[in-house]
Amino acid sequence: MLWKRRLGFEGVTPRAKHSVFQLRIELADVTPAVWRRVLVRSDMTLAQLHDVLQTAMGWENGHLHAFTIGGARFGPFLGDDDEPDDLIDEEEVFLRGVLEGVERFTYEYDFGDGWEHEITVEANSDTDAKLTFAVCIDGQHACPPEDCGGPHGYADLLEALADPEHEDHDEVTEWMGGAFDPYEFDLADVNAELQRRR
Protein backbone atom coordinates (compact mmCIF):
# COMPACT_ATOMS: atom_id res chain seq x y z
CA MET A 1 0.00 0.00 0.00
CA LEU A 2 1.21 3.50 -0.80
CA TRP A 3 0.71 4.84 2.72
CA LYS A 4 2.95 2.09 4.14
CA ARG A 5 5.77 2.99 1.76
CA ARG A 6 5.31 6.73 2.35
CA LEU A 7 5.38 6.42 6.13
CA GLY A 8 8.04 3.73 6.34
CA PHE A 9 5.78 0.91 7.57
CA GLU A 10 6.25 -1.32 4.52
CA GLY A 11 8.01 -4.60 5.11
CA VAL A 12 7.15 -4.86 8.80
CA THR A 13 6.44 -8.49 9.59
CA PRO A 14 4.94 -10.17 12.65
CA ARG A 15 7.32 -11.24 15.38
CA ALA A 16 7.87 -14.95 15.89
CA LYS A 17 6.70 -14.81 19.50
CA HIS A 18 3.64 -13.19 20.94
CA SER A 19 4.36 -9.45 21.12
CA VAL A 20 2.78 -6.97 23.51
CA PHE A 21 2.79 -3.17 23.56
CA GLN A 22 2.67 -1.26 26.82
CA LEU A 23 0.87 2.04 26.25
CA ARG A 24 0.32 4.99 28.55
CA ILE A 25 -2.77 7.03 27.62
CA GLU A 26 -3.27 10.49 29.09
CA LEU A 27 -6.18 12.80 28.44
CA ALA A 28 -4.78 16.20 27.46
CA ASP A 29 -5.60 19.48 29.20
CA VAL A 30 -7.62 18.15 32.15
CA THR A 31 -7.12 18.43 35.90
CA PRO A 32 -6.92 16.14 37.79
CA ALA A 33 -4.85 14.18 35.26
CA VAL A 34 -6.72 11.22 33.78
CA TRP A 35 -4.47 8.42 32.55
CA ARG A 36 -4.30 4.66 32.03
CA ARG A 37 -1.51 2.16 31.37
CA VAL A 38 -2.52 -0.84 29.25
CA LEU A 39 -0.97 -3.93 27.70
CA VAL A 40 -2.29 -4.78 24.23
CA ARG A 41 -1.54 -7.50 21.69
CA SER A 42 0.54 -6.47 18.70
CA ASP A 43 -1.78 -8.37 16.33
CA MET A 44 -4.66 -6.10 17.33
CA THR A 45 -6.02 -3.64 14.75
CA LEU A 46 -6.36 0.08 15.40
CA ALA A 47 -10.13 -0.47 15.41
CA GLN A 48 -9.67 -2.91 18.31
CA LEU A 49 -7.33 -0.49 20.06
CA HIS A 50 -10.11 2.10 19.79
CA ASP A 51 -12.37 -0.30 21.73
CA VAL A 52 -9.65 -0.78 24.37
CA LEU A 53 -9.18 2.97 24.78
CA GLN A 54 -12.92 3.60 25.09
CA THR A 55 -13.22 0.92 27.77
CA ALA A 56 -10.06 1.70 29.71
CA MET A 57 -10.70 5.44 29.81
CA GLY A 58 -14.43 5.08 30.55
CA TRP A 59 -15.96 6.67 27.45
CA GLU A 60 -19.31 5.55 26.01
CA ASN A 61 -18.28 5.26 22.31
CA GLY A 62 -20.99 7.63 21.13
CA HIS A 63 -18.84 9.89 18.93
CA LEU A 64 -16.36 9.80 16.05
CA HIS A 65 -12.66 9.31 16.60
CA ALA A 66 -9.31 9.25 14.80
CA PHE A 67 -5.70 8.26 15.40
CA THR A 68 -2.74 10.32 14.19
CA ILE A 69 0.44 8.27 13.91
CA GLY A 70 3.60 9.36 12.14
CA GLY A 71 1.79 12.08 10.22
CA ALA A 72 -0.98 9.77 8.96
CA ARG A 73 -4.62 9.80 10.08
CA PHE A 74 -6.50 6.57 10.77
CA GLY A 75 -10.17 6.08 11.58
CA PRO A 76 -13.39 4.24 10.77
CA PHE A 77 -14.65 4.20 7.17
CA LEU A 78 -18.29 5.23 7.34
CA GLY A 79 -19.00 5.32 3.60
CA ASP A 80 -19.78 9.04 3.67
CA ASP A 81 -19.08 11.36 0.74
CA ASP A 82 -17.54 13.71 3.31
CA GLU A 83 -14.90 11.11 4.27
CA PRO A 84 -11.45 12.77 4.24
CA ASP A 85 -9.34 11.59 1.29
CA ASP A 86 -6.32 10.99 3.49
CA LEU A 87 -8.11 8.86 6.10
CA ILE A 88 -6.75 5.30 6.34
CA ASP A 89 -9.14 2.53 7.39
CA GLU A 90 -8.32 1.53 10.99
CA GLU A 91 -9.74 -1.96 10.37
CA GLU A 92 -6.87 -2.65 7.94
CA VAL A 93 -4.00 -1.60 10.21
CA PHE A 94 -2.34 -3.82 12.83
CA LEU A 95 -0.42 -2.39 15.77
CA ARG A 96 2.69 -4.42 14.92
CA GLY A 97 2.80 -2.73 11.53
CA VAL A 98 2.11 0.84 12.55
CA LEU A 99 3.66 1.24 16.02
CA GLU A 100 7.10 -0.28 15.44
CA GLY A 101 9.60 2.51 16.18
CA VAL A 102 6.87 4.96 17.21
CA GLU A 103 7.29 6.66 20.61
CA ARG A 104 4.12 8.76 20.72
CA PHE A 105 0.84 9.20 18.88
CA THR A 106 -2.56 10.76 19.46
CA TYR A 107 -6.15 9.57 19.64
CA GLU A 108 -8.95 12.11 19.34
CA TYR A 109 -12.45 11.32 20.50
CA ASP A 110 -15.57 13.43 19.91
CA PHE A 111 -14.52 16.05 17.39
CA GLY A 112 -17.04 18.49 18.86
CA ASP A 113 -15.70 18.35 22.42
CA GLY A 114 -12.18 17.57 21.18
CA TRP A 115 -10.91 15.05 23.72
CA GLU A 116 -7.27 14.48 22.75
CA HIS A 117 -5.38 11.55 24.21
CA GLU A 118 -1.59 11.53 24.19
CA ILE A 119 -0.36 7.96 23.93
CA THR A 120 3.20 6.93 24.76
CA VAL A 121 4.58 3.59 23.60
CA GLU A 122 6.48 2.62 26.75
CA ALA A 123 7.55 -0.87 25.71
CA ASN A 124 7.21 -3.52 23.02
CA SER A 125 8.25 -6.96 24.17
CA ASP A 126 7.99 -10.58 23.18
CA THR A 127 6.35 -12.86 25.68
CA ASP A 128 5.25 -16.47 25.98
CA ALA A 129 2.31 -15.40 28.16
CA LYS A 130 -1.09 -15.39 26.53
CA LEU A 131 -2.80 -12.02 26.51
CA THR A 132 -6.29 -12.69 25.21
CA PHE A 133 -7.21 -9.07 24.49
CA ALA A 134 -5.91 -6.29 26.72
CA VAL A 135 -5.30 -5.54 30.37
CA CYS A 136 -5.11 -2.27 32.28
CA ILE A 137 -2.24 -2.34 34.78
CA ASP A 138 -2.50 1.15 36.25
CA GLY A 139 -4.35 4.45 36.04
CA GLN A 140 -5.71 7.44 37.86
CA HIS A 141 -8.90 9.47 38.11
CA ALA A 142 -12.33 9.31 36.53
CA CYS A 143 -13.10 9.90 32.89
CA PRO A 144 -15.01 13.15 32.28
CA PRO A 145 -18.71 12.73 31.47
CA GLU A 146 -19.63 12.64 27.80
CA ASP A 147 -20.90 15.84 26.14
CA CYS A 148 -19.69 18.18 28.89
CA GLY A 149 -17.92 20.53 26.46
CA GLY A 150 -14.35 19.26 26.28
CA PRO A 151 -11.55 20.18 28.72
CA HIS A 152 -12.83 23.73 29.26
CA GLY A 153 -16.42 22.57 29.86
CA TYR A 154 -15.15 19.84 32.20
CA ALA A 155 -13.26 22.41 34.29
CA ASP A 156 -16.43 24.52 34.55
CA LEU A 157 -18.46 21.44 35.50
CA LEU A 158 -16.05 20.49 38.30
CA GLU A 159 -16.10 24.05 39.63
CA ALA A 160 -19.90 24.09 39.71
CA LEU A 161 -20.14 20.65 41.34
CA ALA A 162 -17.61 21.53 44.05
CA ASP A 163 -19.40 24.68 45.18
CA PRO A 164 -22.99 24.36 46.46
CA GLU A 165 -23.26 28.15 46.23
CA HIS A 166 -22.29 28.19 42.53
CA GLU A 167 -25.13 29.48 40.33
CA ASP A 168 -24.97 26.33 38.15
CA HIS A 169 -24.51 23.80 40.97
CA ASP A 170 -28.08 22.46 41.05
CA GLU A 171 -28.41 22.34 37.27
CA VAL A 172 -25.09 20.53 36.80
CA THR A 173 -25.81 18.09 39.64
CA GLU A 174 -29.16 17.24 38.08
CA TRP A 175 -27.58 16.87 34.61
CA MET A 176 -24.98 14.50 36.10
CA GLY A 177 -27.69 12.46 37.78
CA GLY A 178 -26.07 12.81 41.18
CA ALA A 179 -22.60 12.96 42.65
CA PHE A 180 -19.45 12.73 40.54
CA ASP A 181 -16.00 12.03 41.99
CA PRO A 182 -13.23 13.11 39.59
CA TYR A 183 -10.66 11.20 41.70
CA GLU A 184 -12.41 7.85 41.41
CA PHE A 185 -10.73 4.99 39.54
CA ASP A 186 -11.35 1.25 39.95
CA LEU A 187 -8.75 -0.92 38.21
CA ALA A 188 -10.72 -4.13 38.79
CA ASP A 189 -13.85 -2.67 37.17
CA VAL A 190 -11.87 -1.53 34.12
CA ASN A 191 -10.36 -5.00 33.64
CA ALA A 192 -13.68 -6.73 34.12
CA GLU A 193 -15.13 -4.55 31.36
CA LEU A 194 -12.12 -5.20 29.10
CA GLN A 195 -12.64 -8.95 29.48
CA ARG A 196 -16.28 -8.57 28.46
CA ARG A 197 -15.17 -6.77 25.27
CA ARG A 198 -12.76 -9.40 23.97
What is the number of domains present in the chain? 2
pLDDT at 1 over 90: no
Beta-bridge mates of residue 118: 26, 106
Is residue 117 within 8 Å of 57, Cβ to Cβ? yes
Distance CA 144, CA 29 (A): 12
What range does the domain containing 37 cover?
2-142+185-197
Q: To the nearest whole number, what is the mean pLDDT of the chain?
A: 89
User: For the segment 72-94, what is each residue's pLDDT rounded down to a tens digit?
Assistant: 999 998 766 555 678 999 999 99
4 or 132, which is more confident? 132
Q: What CATH number did the domain enclosing 95 receive?
A: 3.10.290.30
Average pLDDT estimate for 97-116? 96
Beta-bridge mates of residue 67: 74, 107
User: What pTM was computed for the model?
Assistant: 0.88
